[in-house]
Amino acid sequence: MNRYYLDTSAAAKFLVDEAESVRLAQWADSPDVALVATHLLETELRRFAVRFDLAQVNVTAILARVEIYNLAPSVYREAGLLPGTTLRSLDALHLAASIRLDVAALVTYDVRLSEAAADVGLRVHAPSA
């Protein structure tokens, strides 16, 4: 089984119907896929649900499918030192956590985060329609 880091741009597709939603769900249901993230995912996904008036129970169901990790204090430093001038702070935390958790790939649909992952040699996976 391969572990994949799920960022918020991907997890949000489980809450709203977008072009990639069905394909992402099919891929995530594979027995070879284990989704991991940090507590940051819960905060961002719950805020997304509040912003779009979506049921929090659906967020809880998504999070139940993800193995959630705590971030060590050193990951915050590592995130701050990642290369690139366009990487946002929370995305830097997702990327640093992905590296630290030694995942097979980062699952994201965020262009800047995808580029930053490629810059540090981390594979990106974004199932599409």
Kindly give the confidence (pLDDT) of every residue in the chain, 129 residues in length, as a single tens digit, with 9 standing for 90 and above: 999 999 999 999 999 999 999 999 999 999 999 999 999 999 999 999 999 999 999 999 999 999 999 999 999 999 999 999 999 999 999 999 999 999 999 999 999 999 999 999 999 999 995
Tell me how crowded residue 43 is: count the other CB atoms within 10 A of its CB.
12
Domain boundaries, the chain: 2-125
**Domain 2-125 fold:** Rossmann fold (3.40.50)
Q: Per the annotation, does 102 bind a ligand?
A: no
Q: Enter the pTM of the model.
A: 0.96
34, containing H or E segment: strand 33-38
Tell me if residue 5 falls in helix, strand or coil. Answer: strand
| CA pair distance 95, 114, nearest whole angstrom | 9
Q: Per the annotation, does 91 bind a ligand?
A: yes
Tell me if residue 20 falls in helix, strand or coil. Answer: coil
Angle among Cα 72, 3, 101 to the nearest 5 degrees reads 20
Cβ atoms of residues 114 and 108 within 8 Å: yes
Cβ atoms of residues 7 and 108 within 8 Å: yes
